[in-house]
Structure 1
Amino acid sequence: MQLFAWQNVALGVFVASLWLGAVPPSWQRVEVDVSIAPPAGMQRLSEADRQTLQHPVGPWEFYFTRAIYSGGRGRRWGSRWSTDYPKADLQFISILQRVTNLDVYQGQNAMRLNDPDLRRFPFLYALEVGSMTMTDEEVNGLRAYLEAGGFLLVDDFWGTWEWQNFETEIRRV
């Protein structure tokens, strides 16, 4: 099962690199206009107004789920998992709706790695994992998620040290 989890992580890293522009030379680039404003009603919400998916309201085809993990204080404030949250998530959702026919949940969906409901959401996005330090409960939760077929996309590494730290943490999984 460890190999299966690594395959999901490797595929996530590959997809992220393509998403960020690392395209093999034999592939053609396709220009996509991503300079759109979020639709009305999707502007940044106050903390009190934020929706959660502890009990989802509907059966959407796709949920953009952001991983909440321990450790990794941000450069300025807050935890690194929350960098650009929720703005980046809502922009990604808006673009996904424009370029696909998926029925996408339009709210925020950030979940802890040790939440047993995490496996209800097959796509998981983890940001700035270069300083991540998972608890044993988070390691077990992420392992169960990946073994159940969950897909992990990791993003935003700054140098060799951060990659090595992530590699150390993901090996625990």
Structure 2
Amino acid sequence: MSFIDPVRLCSSCSEITRKENEFFDKHLKTLLSGGEFMITEGSDDSEISTSYLCKLASDQRYLVFEGEHSKMDSILLEEIDTINIISSEANQLGQKIVTGIALRFKDSFGDYQILKMEIKKDESAKCGKLWIAGMLKAFRLILESRTGKACTTPTAQ
């Protein structure tokens, strides 16, 4: 909030601020740096996937995609409707292994689109997994802020 001096917060706002600070400290740098993904637009699995570096724009409002030989439009974060985790078979402990995410969002025409982002199976896989973990945390915070109750506690001025 750009306060220089300490300020009082109600317990509800204090918890939200703690979660936001934890997110900024642990995940924001990863989201701004980006992750490499094989991206498929639409729900038709016969379409060709293309490699892109996906990252959060510096204004933290858009997902931007940088391809070596192709261009893809940015996605405004507030237009993302749902995120589904793509997972493969279970590991030895019975846990599903995350292999990507699928985003459903409104495009510039107001139509819903689906974008599948699958982690590349090369040396960039770790960055892709960390990027997905950060993005899931970001959307969890966004969802909580949309559904959370506004602070009704008066503050001292």
Under a length normalisation based on structure 2, what TM-score does the superposition of the two structures give?
0.28
Larger C-alpha radius of gyration, 1 or 2?
A: 2
Instruction: Flag the structure with more relative contact order, 1 or 2, with Cα contacts below 8 A and sequence separation at least 6.
Output: 1
Higher-strand-fraction structure: 2
Higher helix share: 1
